[in-house]
Amino acid sequence: MIRWVFVIFLALTVFSALLPWLEKLGVGKLPGDIRFKLFGHVFCLPFSSTILISMAVLLIAKFLK
């Protein structure tokens, strides 16, 4: 259980660090991605982008297997 919490925390940290670069590619701007501004900070909840990226990784993994 702790391992999964650590993996999710690490993935969120990496994704948030790469978000400015990924926004140039259109990730985080798809329909279904939620952006809101709170206390001067912009928060992004990229639901559809996460699904799209995970499906792409799944397909790549299937082709390499």
The pLDDT, as a whole number, for residue 59 is 92
**What is the mean predicted confidence (pLDDT) over 8-17?**
78
pTM of the model: 0.61
The pLDDT, as a whole number, for residue 34 is 87
Strand partners, 46: 33
- The SS3 assignment for 45 reads strand
How many domains does the chain contain in total?
A: 1
Provide the 10 A C-beta neighbour count for residue 30: 14
Position with higher pLDDT, 48 vs 1: 48
Domain that holds residue 34: 2-64
pLDDT tens, residue by residue, 18-63: 878 877 877 778 888 888 889 998 887 878 888 888 888 889 989 9
